[in-house]
A and B are shown apart, each in its own frame.
Chain A
Amino acid sequence: MTETTKLEAKVLLIDPDPVERQNLADFCVAQGLKPLESEPGGALSLLEAHQDLAGLMMSEALLTDASAGLAWTRSVHKLRPELPVFLRRTSARALSPQEREFVQFEWSSSDMEQLRSSVDRTIFSLRYPTPLVHGIVELTCSALRSMFPNAVVEAQSPYVVHDRIIQGEVSTLIAIESTWCRGYMMLQTEENALRQGLIAGLSYEGLGGELSFRDLNNMLGETTNLIWGAFKNRYIPPEAFANQQTQVPIVINHAHKYISFGSTDPQLCIRYNLSEGKRPELPPLVIVQRFIFNLHWSPDQFAEYSAAADSGPTGELDLF
């Protein structure tokens, strides 16, 4: 594994208690996070100005604060729904369902380990550059909408995982190699959910009815191919294709839904929900995407290349 470049991630910190705010700011710095301290009144403009924010840390006191409150928190969540919210608990009461809608993690200042663990899992930009992750989500949503034109496609907040679990029965694996990374992308989903989604008409007319497992494999396979192609066209310079480098064995144990790449590097994980627009109450088809750059990872070089990248339009005919 290549040495990982230390990335810095910005978090918005809003806590009316000055001692707690300072403690939290110190914690953030120790974790490689850059805290932006704010009062509730200035938070919305900061959220707009800093599109590269990785999370919001706030005190429970704000939920009942006269200058903030639940309505304020909702407007923050509406403005940046992808941001994970870390709530410092100041009471033992149970959160209401409305509060639970936007709070991803709760912690109390007596247990900083709990917060550290949540940050490690959730602040993906400590390892993966935010523009890369946003680009991945954008090109994946485009590929999913292309393969499932009748589905409402939504990406959940990206996060990192350290487990080696395969989600569901259908999965694909494709190698990704560039001058700045080497590793794999996986798509994983449940066979029955995929079948039901196709029968319900999320994809193209004619793709449904009697579906064998091979049809389902092909569907996920072609989706993988589209994402891979878009990733390659956007982030992989042509000179990267000349590389013939070492590989490491990948271990798969189907009985335990286990896959190992021989590394414990954190994997970037994004879950996409594909639902029927007309029947949003039905459970969505969930497709899980994972990236693991276990063979080479230099996010600095990603930044250089992506700045020069200029992908052309897709789907249009370029006549020679």
Chain B
Amino acid sequence: MAHVLVVDDSNTMREIVSSFLVKNGFEVTRANDGRDGLEQLRNDPSIKLVLSDVNMPNMDGLTMAEKIRGEMGNKAVHIVMLTTEDNQAMRERGRAIGVTGWVVKPFRGEAVLGPFKKMCGL
């Protein structure tokens, strides 16, 4: 089953995104900040896609992405930022880190379902 890690400090947003993904056949693991996200990804190599907020306490989403590509050396997992940020400099930083894509909230599941399935090999 396609496995997605949803990282967001907002419980409400985690549940909205997760319930949409579960309803559409994905397996979902949840994390509440970047640090938690890194831990979950280390524990479960079956995760194909990390869907992460940017602004979070403890560790932000872009720092987490940097560590996934750098310290963990994981170049395979897709990382998509799901954020209210539409700042070009921030997008450029994401691109340089190796983030796969960028979605500006609000989350509209139907608009991203196809690409997410493709990333997960469905």
Write the residues of chain A forming the contact surface with B, with a CB cutoff of 8 angstroms: 142-143, 146-147, 204-207, 215, 218-219, 221-222, 225-226, 228-230, 232-233, 238, 311-320
Contact = CB atoms under 8 A, between A and B. Distances in A.
19 contacts: A204-B16, A222-B10, A225-B10, A226-B106, A229-B83, A229-B84, A229-B86, A232-B85, A233-B104, A238-B88, A311-B86, A314-B86, A314-B106, A314-B108, A315-B104, A315-B106, A316-B103, A316-B104, A320-B101
B112 A319 contact: no
A38 B113 CA distance: 53
A316 B85 CA distance: 13
Contacts of A320: 94-95, 99-102
Contacts of B108: 146, 314-316
Contacts of B11: 215, 218
Interface string B89-114: 10100110001111111111001100
Could you say which of A206, A215, A229, A230 has the most chain B C-beta atoms within 10 Å of its C-beta? A229
Contacts of B107: 146, 315
Contacts, number: 94
Contacts of B16: 204, 207
Given A222-B12, A226-B84, A226-B105, A317 B115 contact: yes
Interface residues of B, number: 32
B38 interface: no
A316 B112 contact: yes
A230 B103 CA distance: 13
B101 A318 contact: yes
B27 interface: no
Nearest to A214: B11
B115 to A, nearest CB: 5
A225 B84 contact: yes
B15 interface: yes
A156 to B, nearest CB: 22
A221 B55 CA distance: 14
Contacts of B115: 317, 319
Contacts of A314: 86, 104-106, 108
Contact of B84 (A218, A233, A312): A233
Contacts of A206: 15, 19
B106 A317 contact: no
B100 A204 contact: no
B95 to A, nearest CB: 5
Contacts of B105: 146, 226, 229, 314-315
Contacts of A228: 84
Interface string B56-98: 0000000000000000000000001001111111010011000
B13 interface: yes
Contacts of A315: 103-108, 111-112
B84 A317 contact: no
A147 B106 contact: yes
B95 A207 contact: no
